[in-house]
Chains A and B, each alone.
Chain A
Amino acid sequence: MKLGRRSLSRLALPLKALLDRFAFGILAVLSIGLLIVGRADIHVLDRLGTGIGDVLTPALEVLAQPIVASRRLVEGVAELVALREDNARLREQNRRLLDWQSAARQLSLENAALRQVLEYRADPGRPTAVTGRVIADAGGPFVHTVLINVGADDGITGGMAAVNERGLVGRVIEVGRQSARVLLLTDFNSRIPVMVEPSRDQAILAGNNSRQPGLIFLPLNPRLAVGNAVVTSGRGGVLPPGLAIGTVTAITDDSVTVEPLVDFTRLEYLRLLEYARVVPPERLEELQQEIYGPPLPPGFVPPEATVPGEPLAGLAWPGHRDLAAAPPASERVP
């Protein structure tokens, strides 16, 4: 027994010494290997990352408690100090909002009436929401992402929009079982299809790692002004349309800057909206016909192009009857 142990240690000790000696080299090469493999978008590494996030979610949640509590305390004291000013400001805001409320009520009634007239079918994809808490935010200078404490088990899927009470925060890029990573719209990898109100010009909101993302791929001669609202356009079918993002703050010859409504240093709770209405390609044509009717024949000239009162010309598909030459309705009755 004694001999066996000694021979074992005689074998193991040099091996351990060897490993210790080259541990730095081996691990450094492993790190570089991980970086290179990670660049090639290997999903195993993503899963490893989300796995670590999943495992540490409870620890992060526990550690957050005293931080949240102390932050609330500080904010509570600050609120007490600013109580008078806040009250005056809120009263003024309340007065303005009541005006808006009556306007909104009128508009929604009018809207409902007009929709009835047009037989307009509202968007069927009603977003469902899951709320999660931010548990990790590196706040670093490199990436702008946060980890939240809800994951696939709670119904989170990639691409979901993350919003808070002020507006759009970002979208989900990685999903673990109990955690998910949200790419903030300020991150330089973030690209979000948006629309500028009131001109409804379409553009892409591109993050640049600063507090203020910019608009790219604007249409020619965009009708923009400082102070215009920027909302999601819903193009691409991933994010719901109409989510508030921010306002245009600066327009120069080569850039348009947007100030987000969300305060990214105080992200606490996020609502994740599910709106992935992805149409499979095989259903695309069917769906197009459902919406736009049968495909138009070649050589079709829209009726608006003709002078009113004159007979419609240039319509050349079989079965077409000249509307102007058609007999009056009374004569058509047999």
Chain B
Amino acid sequence: MARPPRPRRSAAGIGARPLIWLSIRHLDARLRALAPFAVTAAAVLLDVQPLLGLGPWGITPFSTLCAVYFWSLYRPDLFSPAAAFATGILYDALAGLPLGLTALVLLLVRQLVVVQQRFFLARSFPVVWCCFLLLAPAAEIARWLLISLWWGRLFDLAPVVLSLLLTMALYPLASLLLTRVHSSIPRLTHAS
């Protein structure tokens, strides 16, 4: 198919047709830029789905943490602190946890990853996964400590550990799926 001739810019400004074309491209880029938050919000909805629990405790992995780690690592420009905060509030509201609990932990996770971004640059997947294996327990223990403080009682650690193991095992799969989404987002969204 022949490529349409490049629109010429008139002195008065941009012509009507190219403007629509540009704005559609712009809209498309903007929507794609929303993908990291949208995917993370979908992970929250998945995490709170009933009938997915395993074993006698009904344990589910915390897949939201995988998504937050991934986007903080690869697209921190599209996954702002506000996005991490909103994800946490969403999770807290749906899971019936005190509002702000998961929000604080996810904010800390994002900040930690962004601060250490230089270290992660051009690292292979096993290194990235190993870092997740270190970060996920820290995040879950922070959540456990915070909620224990909030309620004023110590919660049983066994279900926390089981959920954590599931989360850590889930990361490669989550990373695979999120990479697909990542490759569909244009690198420079402001170019259009």
Contact = CB atoms under 8 A, between A and B. Distances in A.
A27 B159 CA distance: 29
**Chain B interface main SS type:** helix
B181 to A, nearest CB: 17
B161 to A, nearest CB: 9
A23 B35 CA distance: 21
B95 A64 contact: no
A63 B50 CA distance: 10
B82 to A, nearest CB: 6
Interface string A49-78: 100110010011001100110010000000
B80 to A, nearest CB: 7
Contact of A268 (B45, B51, B55, B57): B51
Interface stretch (A28-36, A117-125, A217-225, A322-330): A28-36
A266 interface: yes
Contact of B96 (A34, A135, A181, A267): A181
Interface in B30-67: 42, 45-53, 55-60
Residue among A20, A27, A33 with max Cβ neighbours from chain B (10 Å): A27
A209 B96 contact: no
**Chain A interface main SS type:** helix
Contacts of A138: 47-48, 60, 94-97
Contacts of B159: 140-141
A64 B50 contact: yes
B137 interface: no
Contact of B147 (A71, A142, A147): A142
A20 B82 CA distance: 9
A136 B107 CA distance: 23
A19 to B, nearest CB: 9
Nearest to B53: A139
B178 interface: no
Interface residues on A, range: 35 or more
B138 to A, nearest CB: 16
B99 A265 contact: no
B93 interface: yes
Contact of A56 (B45, B100, B108, B155): B45
A48 interface: yes
A143 to B, nearest CB: 5
A39 interface: yes
B108 A28 contact: yes
A69 B91 CA distance: 24
Interface string B66-105: 0000000000000011101100111011111111110110
A39 B98 contact: yes
Contacts of A68: 51
A188 B143 CA distance: 18
A140 B81 CA distance: 24
B96 A28 contact: no
Interface in A234-280: 264-268
A60 B49 CA distance: 7
Nearest to B98: A38
A28 B107 contact: yes
Interface in B140-190: 143-144, 146-147, 150-151, 153, 155-156, 158-160, 163
18 contacts: A23-B81, A24-B111, A27-B103, A31-B100, A31-B103, A32-B100, A35-B101, A38-B98, A49-B92, A59-B45, A63-B49, A136-B50, A136-B95, A209-B155, A210-B156, A264-B58, A265-B51, A267-B50
Interface of A: 20, 23-24, 27-28, 30-35, 38-39, 45, 48-49, 52-53, 56, 59-60, 63-64, 67-68, 71, 134-143, 145-147, 181, 188, 209-211, 264-268
Interface of B: 42, 45-53, 55-60, 80-82, 84-85, 88-90, 92-101, 103-104, 107-108, 110-111, 143-144, 146-147, 150-151, 153, 155-156, 158-160, 163
Given A53-B93, A56-B90, 5 more contacts: A23-B82, A52-B94, A138-B96, A141-B163, A265-B58
